[in-house]
Amino acid sequence: MKKTWVVRLAFKNLLRYKRRTLITAIAIAFGLTMYIWIDSILTGAAEESVRNLRWYETADAMAAGPGYMDDRDSLPLDNSFAWENLASELEAVGADVTPRIFFGADMVFFRDPYPEDGNVPARIIAIDPERDQNVFRLWDTLIKGRWLLEGEEGALVGRWFAEDIGASVGAPIIAVTETRDGYAQTIDLEIVGILDSPNPMINREGFYVSLDTADMYLEMGGEVTSLFITWPGAELGRSKSDHLVNLVEESGLEYSPWDVQAADYVAVMAAEYSGSGTIIVLILIIAAVGISNTMLMAVYERSREIGMMRALGMADGRIRSMFLWESGGIGAVGSFIGIFVGALVNIPLVKYGLDYSALMRDENFGYRTTGIFYGSWHWQGYLYAMILGVGLSVLVAAVSTRRILRLDIPSSLRFN
């Protein structure tokens, strides 16, 4: 008896038991469609978050003084460094760089033009208005007013920040801070532009002033707290990091790639994936229960048929192989349906996304997206879906067939 006979018989049974095949395939398709949908959202949100981190917060890497990363939440100014020579060396090897100073301040505003008197704490970022455009993409997010000019006492603020305090272009605001040596300092600023970024952290907390202004008022002596670095093709994985690391470390500074700077984000995303993975497992369990029920029915309702085949001399191995091929066929049908439906569902998800902006406005879930979660064509997810669909079907059928083959032939023929 040729082995192909078993395969042909298995696939004939798919058409012979059309209802069972369809029910099982639908159970598989539902589970895989949900898997593809969730995988698309998670992958799309992760890709956009990484992109927005690198475009608006971390660049591809950062150079800073020794120990600055460990203490950066306190926004220290005393761990600053001269940056011009290192910038020239990095630019000579094809990198783009921009200096920044991070410092904290209490922002004070008064009634007229504001709705009421008040003050809010803020993290201010001093930028070089020209160099910054070569590394970050803040320029593209300007929706009102104009860009900063070198040396002016102006400020750019995030849209949500401006809405929260009732600020508009032209409104005055006072920054109460300290110099690098710890002396009290007051900076009178005018809001010259409002930013609306795809990165929610910029909209929520963004406050930018000119590097020259910060240097003068903070008495930095031309030094900065950070030097951000990017290079062509970095997002595509083209790495110059070894050479750049050497240049930075030879200058006595520490080199921090984007994922080290965004370690909190990476940890949050790992936790999000863990929780979402649990949801995916539950969906697959639901699908597996549907598959197991129908496959158990398929095997037990054909127990007499199995007993007859065994009585006629068909080996248990061939019977098991027939059911495995049959279940694999059902899994393949269900997987193709699930992948097809999943792809159809993913089209509007990729094009229009899911709007969670009402939640993201005031809550921080770790994602660097303002609230519209777009899907992604994550082809590995489709491959995993196919493997899961076929694999679950074959696994359940193997367990069910093993149980019925434990019966002796007379018991199989009498089985009800």
Q: Do 243 and 190 lie in a common domain?
A: yes
Within a domain: 276: yes
First to last CA, the chain: 30
Q: Domain residues for 209?
A: 66-252
How far apart CA 330 and CA 287 sit, in angstroms, is: 13
How far apart CA 33 and CA 41 sit, in angstroms, is: 12
For every residue of 201-230, DSSP letters joined together read: HHHHH-EEEEHHHHHHHHT-TT-BSEEEEE
Q: What is the pLDDT of residues 265-282, one digit of tens each?
A: 777 666 666 655 666 666
Q: Do 39 and 73 lie in a common domain?
A: no
Q: Specify the DSSP element, H or E, that contains 311.
A: helix 303-311
Q: What is the pLDDT of residues 288-313, one digit of tens each?
A: 676 666 666 666 666 777 777 777 77
pLDDT at 375: 73
pLDDT at 397: 74
Q: What is the pLDDT of residues 150-200, one digit of tens each?
A: 889 999 999 989 998 999 999 999 999 999 998 999 999 999 999 998 888
Asked whether residue 3 carries a pLDDT value surpassing 70, the answer given is no
Q: Do 236 and 108 lie in a common domain?
A: yes
Question: Among 107-121, 332-346, 352-366, which stretch is predicted with the lowest mean pLDDT?
Answer: 352-366
Q: Do 23 and 80 lie in a common domain?
A: no
Model-level pTM? 0.74
Q: What is the pLDDT of residues 212-253, one digit of tens each?
A: 999 999 999 999 999 999 987 665 555 566 778 889 988 999
Distances (CA, A) of 334 to 25, 127, 170, 226: 4, 55, 61, 54
Within a domain: 261: no
Structural domains in the chain (count): 2
Q: What is the pLDDT of residues 198-210, one digit of tens each?
A: 888 898 889 999 9
Q: Is 222 left (phi over 0), alpha (psi -120 to 50) or beta?
A: left
pLDDT at 112: 84
Q: What is the pLDDT of residues 14-25, one digit of tens each?
A: 666 677 777 777
Question: Helix, strand, coil shares of the chain as percentages rounded to 5?
Answer: 55, 20, 25
Q: Specify the DSSP element, H or E, that contains 96.
A: strand 96-109
| pLDDT category of residue 1 using cuts at 50, 70 and 90 | very low
Q: Do 291 and 334 lie in a common domain?
A: yes
Within a domain: 40: yes
Radius of gyration of the chain (CA): 31
- Mean pLDDT to the nearest integer, 347-357: 74
| Residue whose token pair is 């094809």 | 94
Q: Do 104 and 241 lie in a common domain?
A: yes
